Amino acid sequence: MSNSLLSVQELAAPEGVCYGCGCSHPSGLHLKSHWHDDGVHLISRHSPDSTFLGWPGLVYGGLLAMLVDCHSNWTAMAYHYRAEGREPGSLPRIDCVTGQLSPRPWASSCCSKPGSKAR
């Protein structure tokens, strides 16, 4: 891994409260992502404890999804900073994940109400 002691999360968002990767979440996992020594890959390691087992010996899928979500976002953000020749956390801040949730009624053209014939 990189010689940098601080993770991308610590550099860019020390106030972050995400359960998975937030540095300031009081009981979160505090996932940390660092540049690999090759300078190309951003890596993160996490060893879940037994509270995150879905079945004996199997990690809960929700944890896996969260780890992928958190690390993917930080990887994208880190590459954007690097492409601009800036350090993570420098201003203006780069935020990579945005979205909007627009629930639709069952009568929408994209799907059918459960139990009804598909359109």
| Range 78-95 average pLDDT | 92
pTM score: 0.74
Give the pLDDT score at 100.
75
Q: How far from 23 is each of 11, 20, 35, 108, CA to CA, in Å?
A: 10, 9, 17, 41
| Range 57-80 average pLDDT | 94
Say which DSSP state 119 is in.
-
Bridge partners (DSSP) listed for residue 43: 34
